[in-house]
Each structure stands twice: as structure tokens, then as C-alpha cells.
């Protein structure tokens, strides 16, 4: 009778992880959301995506991340 081993045990037996490097981006977990944005915003980032070669969703995330990292505050005035 063959004993079943877990995937983890298999990996440890088959591969040498002694020189493995931890993924520096592993802590940056992303959340999938649905948002409504104006067509002009979508078009802008799609065009930027074509120019830069970076996916438009990544560009939007990068822009928002820049706002977070630089503690940008909203300046809204209602007329």
C-alpha cells in the first residue's frame, strides 16, 4: 500500500529550497473590487497603458498608491 504524501512534503523532498529568496512583494496583497469610473478616466488610463506597456489596472493602482504614500488629501469644494 502506497502512502500518500502532501504536496508540501513532496516539494521538500524533490527540491532544494536552502538558497530560496523570499518574495519581496508577498506582503503586498491586492484585493479585487468593482468600481464605477467615468469613460474619460477609463480611456485616459487605457491610452496610457498603450504608451507605457503597463496594464491600465496596474496604472490606476500605481496612481492611487502614490496618493496613499504621499498622504495626498482631497480638496473638494461644492459650488
pLDDT band at 3 (very low <50, low <70, confident <90, very high): low
CA dihedral sign of residues 13, 16, 21, 23: negative
22 neighbors 32 (Cβ within 8 angstroms): no
> What is the predicted pLDDT for the residue at 8?
76
Question: For position 4, what pLDDT does the model report?
Answer: 65
What would the pLDDT profile of 21-45 be if each residue is shown by its tens digit? 887 777 778 888 999 999 999 999 9
CA 50, 52, 53, 56 torsion-angle sign: negative
Considering the chain, what is the average pLDDT of its residues?
87
CA contacts within 13 A on the Cβ side of 50: 5
Q: How far apart are CA 40 and CA 26, in angstroms?
A: 33
The pLDDT value recorded for residue 22 is: 80
Amino acid at each position: 500500500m502506497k502512502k500518500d504524501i502532501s504536496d508540501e512534503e513532496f516539494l521538500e523532498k524533490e527540491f532544494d529550497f536552502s538558497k530560496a529568496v523570499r518574495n519581496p512583494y508577498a506582503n503586498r496583497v491586492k484585493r479585487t473590487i468593482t468600481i464605477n469610473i467615468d469613460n474619460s478616466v477609463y480611456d485616459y488610463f487605457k491610452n496610457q497603458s498603450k504608451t507605457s506597456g503597463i496594464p491600465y489596472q496596474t496604472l490606476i493602482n500605481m496612481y492611487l498608491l502614490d496618493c496613499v504614500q504621499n498622504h495626498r488629501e482631497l480638496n473638494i469644494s461644492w459650488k
